[in-house]
Amino acid sequence: MTGQSVRTFPHRKNPDGTWDSICSDCFRTIARVKDPSDLELFERDHDCAQFKSLSFRFRLLSESDTDVA
Ligand SMILES: [Zn+2]
């Protein structure tokens, strides 16, 4: 794996007006923001392996934990 696989980050609008970005590779919600243009920053920095250790931090930022199966 050299990180050259193409990842996409579908966006999902939440009922509260925030936006989620979902990694097509690890299927995690990598960011939840009010301004969808901010998602690009998270997507650029997202590392599927690294994110596992950071997920606890994201939970502090997101009040609701609504993973879609
Ligand atoms: Zn990922």
Coil, helix or strand at residue 21: strand
Q: What is the pTM of this model?
A: 0.64
CB 46 within 8 A of CB 30: yes
Using the mean position of ligand 1's atoms as its centre, give its distance from the Cα of residue 66 in Å. Answer: 17
pLDDT confidence of residue 49: 85
Using the mean position of ligand 1's atoms as its centre, give its distance from the Cα of residue 28 in Å. Answer: 6
Angstrom distance (rounded) from CA 2 to CA 12:
28
Tens digits of per-residue pLDDT, 15-68?
A: 999 999 999 999 999 999 999 999 999 999 999 987 665 555 555 555 555 555
Using the mean position of ligand 1's atoms as its centre, give its distance from the Cα of residue 8 in Å. Answer: 9
Using the mean position of ligand 1's atoms as its centre, give its distance from the Cα of residue 44 in Å. Answer: 11
Angstrom distance (rounded) from CA 10 to CA 57:
21
Say which amino acid occupies 26: C
pLDDT confidence of residue 36: 95
